Amino acid sequence: MVPAVTLDQGTLSTVALILAAAVVALAVWVALLQRSSSQLRRRLRSVFGSGGEQGLDEVLDTIVKRLDHAGQRIDALNDLQQDLEALLRHGTIRNVGVVRFNPFPDAGGDQSFAIALLASEGSGVVISSLHARTDTRVFAKQIEGGRSRYPLSEEEQDAIRRAQAHRGA
């Protein structure tokens, strides 16, 4: 048998006040938690649409899926960038050199020209036009690595040098 404990009126009043203060503190704490939860739901709804009603696991799963999708798109963009850079290096004319000259003293002015159209590694074409009083002749020679398997005139070589000088530009 447990002995009965008797408390005087002052002790009971003190215990009752402490319990009342604890209940009030708990009620304030619950109200603050309710308010914080409501704000969090509102923020989640603004970010995820109706996702504010989802649990935290579903919201995090949605975020992870979106990040995975964004990562895949970034990888695809990086691949495309590398393809475009390779195309620019090897498949496009990036360097141009032009030389105008007069091959025939009896024809007036520098109407003849040599133009080198080269990709960044020095491959491309050099086109020459020789203008005389009675006719104009056009020649094209393939260039690989800054050289041609056909003989190049001084003007064609100069056009290639000028195009190659534009590599850094």
At 124, give phi and psi (nearest 5°): 165, -135
77 and 128 within one domain: no
Model pLDDT for residues 119-149, shown as the tens digit of each residue = 878 889 999 999 887 888 999 999 998 889 9
Find where tokens 């850079």 sit.
85
Model pLDDT for residues 64-115, shown as the tens digit of each residue = 999 999 999 999 999 999 998 888 777 788 889 999 998 877 766 788 999 9
Residue 1 resides in a domain? no
Residue 33 resides in a domain? yes
| The dihedral sign for the CA sequence 94, 95, 100, 104 | negative
157 and 99 within one domain: yes
Apex 164 CA angle, 160 and 166, nearest 5: 125
Residue 160: domain span:
95-165
Model pLDDT for residues 37-55, shown as the tens digit of each residue = 989 888 877 776 654 456 6
* Final residue before a domain boundary, out of 91, 117, 141: 91
